[in-house]
């Protein structure tokens, strides 16, 4: 990583200048030397190499010097064992973990504290692949493979629960598959009772801290997120999240900050699995969704029961010929269920997105850019192509032979085909009583159908004219629910940008940032854009309406006196996006952040200029580090008058950087070495401190969605009404 000597921020090695103050970045710092490598820990374990790291500590491969056996040694971070009381507590927890003697639980062999207060835990050395790595490779697993892994995990977890041990941090990183892909494949669960040490050593729960105090945000139960006393059913919720991820390749809840994620675990409903993967059976989906119930009493009550319910759901899916009537399972209370897994309630209807969530924005087809969140093989395909190929292979190999297929029209299944002895098959004889009794002729049927259709048409016309043919309203309307949006367009000073095609990005050449290349043709549909950046006064209206406090430098919801027209800054992407959603509910217009393609098109026009005013740099035309401005200015300031794009948009070059809606992606055929990031967003433009190298309209910068800086603000975009 390179570091800026001015602001102290770190950047990737390919970055030359700091995007915030224009300083040239220092060379990468040499990696720190690990003091444990090559040493003999506590006189017993020769540390050979580092094999993992995490929030609890680092894991090393070591050899027992007396027994000549390989082991894994976890050396805990010093802040987790800061006093003797905590060390003694962990000693008891380590002893408890040793009692989890099960083939699917990692074997804990030793625990110790060295003379310099280094606390370590010794475990068996495993050669395998973590479930996390497996999911990164395969994206999602078949139901059969996911069930095989989960059954072994449940066995280990149930044994720990029987000893009074709650894991508290179950996740794919803590599940290892030994001898993966072989007949001797074995699943191992790691880190029993480690999370309890972390919770105890840090005192009061601090949900804003990275890594969390009581678990990992993506996998923690609602009661864990609220800091309640936990029981074994909290681990079951985590297993439900893991099963969801194995089956769909996605998490049930995602957010840009730990706090937002926690709130979703507490309040939001997960998206049904079959909306993500159609090959999942309703019975299997019901088990997973029940395991993700908000109330712990609504979940399976033990890991063993969860494994049984998953297996029952899978067994129903794998029946080759279904009986004409599904079996009815009668429960002791008198309840009855048809075709469901034992003890499972039917899945409840759940919306496609949690409350307050929005569907991802997409770019025009001509852009040929996709964020990591939109690469989902949507459109005419109903399945991921990999699933389609698997299904084709299964059919061609006879795997579905004899199984009743689903009717593509109504989703029903025909009764199972049964062989019938030839002697019981009888064909009616023409003219016999059996062939003529109570069968209307074709003419009678036709007359009945025609009469029914005639009356249906008449009835439909009557209903339409009386109930739905409302006279058109007269007035100054835009066609969206007959609402007049002009006052809102004037208030937010929105400008219409017409549909256009332009060359986005730059050609590869010396001095051009590689992540801004290559140039490629983009067509942008018409849209609305704010003439000015969002101001303190505009943002304050949202804060007061929602009872929120302003960014750093504000007093509650009050900005510094005299700065009402200054561009608001210190706003994260999450906060800017929330402002757009709030404004949309107030106005009825679809306010949003601009896509990256829209922003560059509005700044450059169709003549591919490098700055809003043209191709050549001019320090007098904007507020930047080249003009020695000390701070942000009012969006209507005369200093920004000439920072005007071809469409009359003001301040797209200097003053403050601007968030866009676009996640981090590579341009088509780009040679850049950046990782796509859906939890980060592209930032465009420049600030009052930026140098001219930074201020070109083609430059791209990005930060995590919760990043805040007093040089970053935003500008409104909107769909045309």
User: What pLDDT digit, counting tens, does each position of 469-520 carry?
Assistant: 443 333 333 344 445 778 889 999 999 999 988 889 998 888 889 999 998 8
Would you state the structure tokens that stand for residue 549, as one six-digit string? 């406090």
pLDDT confidence band for 574 (50 / 70 / 90): very high
Select the more confidently predicted residue: 72 or 628.
72
Q: In angstroms, rounded to a whole number, what is the distance separating the alpha carbons of residues 554 and 314? A: 57
Query: Which class for 613: exposed (0-12), middle (13-18), buried (19 or more C-beta within 10 A)?
Result: middle
Question: Mean pLDDT over residues 334-348, rounded?
Answer: 34
Residue 346 has pLDDT above 90, yes or no: no
pLDDT the model gives residue 315: 84
Ranked by mean pLDDT, which of 97-111, 321-335, 352-366 comes out on top?
97-111
Residue 196 has pLDDT above 60, yes or no: no
The partner residues of 658 in beta bridges, in order of sequence, read: 684, 713
Residue 676 has pLDDT above 90, yes or no: no
pLDDT the model gives residue 370: 28
Question: What are 512-544's pLDDT values in tens digits?
Answer: 899 999 988 889 999 999 999 999 999 999 999
Q: In angstroms, rounded to a whole number, what is the distance separating the alpha carbons of residues 301 and 317? A: 24
pLDDT the model gives residue 411: 33
Residue 327 has pLDDT above 60, yes or no: no
> Which listed residue (169, 384, 643, 709) is catalytic?
169
pLDDT confidence band for 312 (50 / 70 / 90): very high
Percent of the chain past pLDDT 70, that is, above it, reads 68
- Alpha-helical runs (H) found in 497-641: 536-546, 573-587, 596-604
Residue 259 has pLDDT above 90, yes or no: no
Select the more confidently predicted residue: 172 or 100.
172
Which of 633, 622, 625, 659 has the alpha carbon at shortest distance from 530? 659
pLDDT the model gives residue 366: 25
Going along 506-630, which residue ranges are E strands? 520-524, 527-530, 591-593
Active site residue 231: no
Question: Mean pLDDT over residues 187-212, rounded?
Answer: 53
Question: What are 596-640's pLDDT values in tens digits?
Answer: 999 999 999 888 889 999 989 999 999 998 887 778 999 999 999
Domains of the chain in sequence order: 32-125 (3.30.200.20), 128-317 (1.10.510.10), 486-718 (3.90.1580.10)
Whole-structure pTM over 0.85, yes or no?
no
pLDDT confidence band for 20 (50 / 70 / 90): low
Task: Write the Ramachandran bin of 113: left for phi over 0, alpha for psi from -120 to 50, otherwise beta.
Answer: beta
Q: In angstroms, rounded to a whole number, what is the distance separating the alpha carbons of residues 658 and 660? A: 7
Q: In angstroms, rounded to a whole number, what is the distance separating the alpha carbons of residues 431 and 603? A: 84
- CB neighbours (10 Å) of residue 533? 26
pLDDT the model gives residue 22: 64
Q: Which residue shows structure tokens 């000549």?
A: 68
Which of 173, 254, 244, 193 has the alpha carbon at shortest distance from 218? 254
pLDDT the model gives residue 653: 93
Question: What are 417-434's pLDDT values in tens digits?
Answer: 233 233 332 333 333 333
Would you state the structure tokens that stand for residue 676, as one six-digit string? 């796509």
Question: What are 706-719's pLDDT values in tens digits?
Answer: 999 999 999 999 99
Residue 214 has pLDDT above 90, yes or no: no
Question: Mean pLDDT over residues 177-199, rounded?
Answer: 75
Three-state DSSP at 653 gives coil
Would you state the structure tokens that stand for residue 341, as one six-digit string? 């897994």
Select the more confidently predicted residue: 677 or 214.
677
pLDDT confidence band for 566 (50 / 70 / 90): very high
The overall average pLDDT reported for the chain is: 75
pLDDT confidence band for 410 (50 / 70 / 90): very low
pLDDT the model gives residue 58: 86
Ranked by mean pLDDT, which of 247-256, 312-321, 329-338 comes out on top?
247-256
pLDDT confidence band for 318 (50 / 70 / 90): low
Q: Which helix (H) or strand (E) segment is 87 a member of?
A: helix 84-98
Q: In angstroms, rounded to a whole number, what is the distance separating the alpha carbons of residues 335 and 629? A: 74
pLDDT the model gives residue 460: 63
pLDDT confidence band for 386 (50 / 70 / 90): very low
């Amino acid at each position: 990583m390179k570091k800026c000597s001015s602001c102290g921020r770190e950047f990737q090695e390919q970055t030359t200048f700091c995007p915030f103050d224009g300083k040239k970045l220092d060379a990468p710092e040499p990696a720190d030397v690990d003091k444990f490598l090559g040493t003999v820990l506590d006189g017993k374990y020769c540390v050979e190499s580092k094999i993992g790291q995490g929030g609890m500590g680092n894991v090393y491969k070591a050899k027992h010097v007396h027994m000549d056996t390989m082991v894994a040694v976890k050396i805990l971070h010093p802040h987790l064992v800061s006093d003797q009381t905590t060390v003694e507590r962990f000693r008891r927890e380590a002893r408890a973990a040793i009692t989890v003697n099960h083939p699917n639980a990692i074997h804990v062999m030793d625990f110790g504290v060295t003379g310099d207060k280094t606390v370590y835990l010794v475990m068996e050395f495993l050669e395998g692949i973590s479930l996390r790595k497996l999911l990164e490779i395969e994206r999602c697993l078949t139901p059969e493979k996911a069930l095989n892994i989960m059954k072994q995990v449940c066995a280990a977890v149930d044994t720990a629960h029987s000893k009074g041990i709650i894991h508290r941090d179950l996740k794919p990183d803590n599940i290892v598959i030994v001898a993966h892909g072989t007949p001797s494949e074995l699943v191992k669960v790691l880190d029993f009772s480690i999370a309890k040490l972390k919770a105890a050593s840090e005192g009061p729960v601090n949900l804003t801290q990275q890594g969390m105090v009581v678990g990992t945000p993506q996998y923690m139960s609602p009661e864990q997120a609220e800091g309640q006393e936990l029981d074994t059913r909290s681990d079951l919720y985590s297993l439900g999240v893991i099963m969801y991820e194995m089956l769909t390749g996605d998490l049930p809840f995602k957010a840009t900050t730990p706090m937002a994620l926690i709130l979703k675990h507490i309040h939001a409903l997960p998206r049904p699995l079959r909306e993500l993967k159609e090959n999942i059976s309703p019975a299997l989906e019901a088990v997973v969704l029940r395991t993700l119930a908000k109330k712990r009493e609504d979940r399976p009550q033990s890991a063993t029961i969860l494994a049984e319910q998953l297996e029952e759901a899978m067994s129903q899916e794998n029946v080759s010929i279904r009986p004409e009537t599904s079996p009815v399972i009668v429960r002791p209370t008198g309840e009855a269920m048809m075709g469901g897994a034992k003890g499972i309630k039917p899945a409840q209807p759940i919306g496609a997105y949690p409350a307050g969530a929005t569907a991802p924005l997409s770019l025009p087809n001509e852009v040929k850019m996709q964020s990591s969140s939109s690469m989902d093989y949507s459109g005419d395909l109903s399945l991921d192509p990999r699933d389609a190929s698997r299904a084709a292979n299964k059919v061609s190999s006879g795997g579905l032979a004899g199984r009743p297929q689903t009717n593509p029209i109504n989703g029903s299944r025909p009764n199972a085909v049964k062989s019938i002895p030839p002697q019981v098959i009888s064909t009616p004889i023409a003219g016999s009583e059996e062939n003529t009794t109570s069968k209307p002729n074709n003419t009678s049927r036709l007359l009945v159908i025609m009469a029914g259709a005639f009356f249906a048409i008449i009835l439909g016309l009557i209903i339409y004219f009386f109930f739905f043919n409302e006279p058109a309203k007269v007035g100054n309307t835009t066609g969206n629910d007959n609402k007049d949006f002009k006052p809102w367009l004037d208030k937010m000073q929105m400008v219409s940008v017409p549909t256009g095609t332009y060359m986005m990005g730059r050609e590869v050449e010396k001095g051009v940032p590689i992540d801004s290349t290559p140039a490629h043709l983009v067509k942008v549909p018409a849209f609305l854009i704010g003439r000015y950046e969002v101001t303190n006064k505009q943002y304050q209206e949202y804060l007061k309406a929602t009872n929120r406090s302003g960014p750093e430098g504000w007093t509650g919801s009050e900005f510094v006196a005299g700065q009402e027209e200054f561009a608001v800054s210190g706003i994260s992407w999450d906060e800017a996006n929330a402002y757009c959603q709030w404004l949309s509910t107030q106005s009825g217009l679809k306010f949003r952040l601009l896509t990256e393609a829209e922003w560059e098109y509005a700044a450059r026009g169709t003549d591919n200029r490098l700055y809003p005013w043209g191709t050549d740099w001019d320090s007098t035309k904007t507020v930047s580090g080249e003009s020695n401005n000390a701070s942000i200015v009012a969006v209507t300031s005369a200093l920004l008058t000439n920072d005007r794009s071809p469409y009359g948009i003001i301040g797209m070059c200097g003053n403050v950087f601007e968030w866009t809606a676009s996640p981090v992606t590579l341009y088509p055929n780009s040679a850049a070495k950046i990782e796509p990031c859906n939890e980060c967003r592209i930032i465009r433009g420049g600030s009052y401190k930026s140098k001219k190298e930074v201020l070109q309209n083609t430059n791209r910068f990005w930060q995590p969605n919760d990043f805040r800086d007093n040089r970053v603000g935003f500008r409104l975009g909107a769909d045309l009404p």
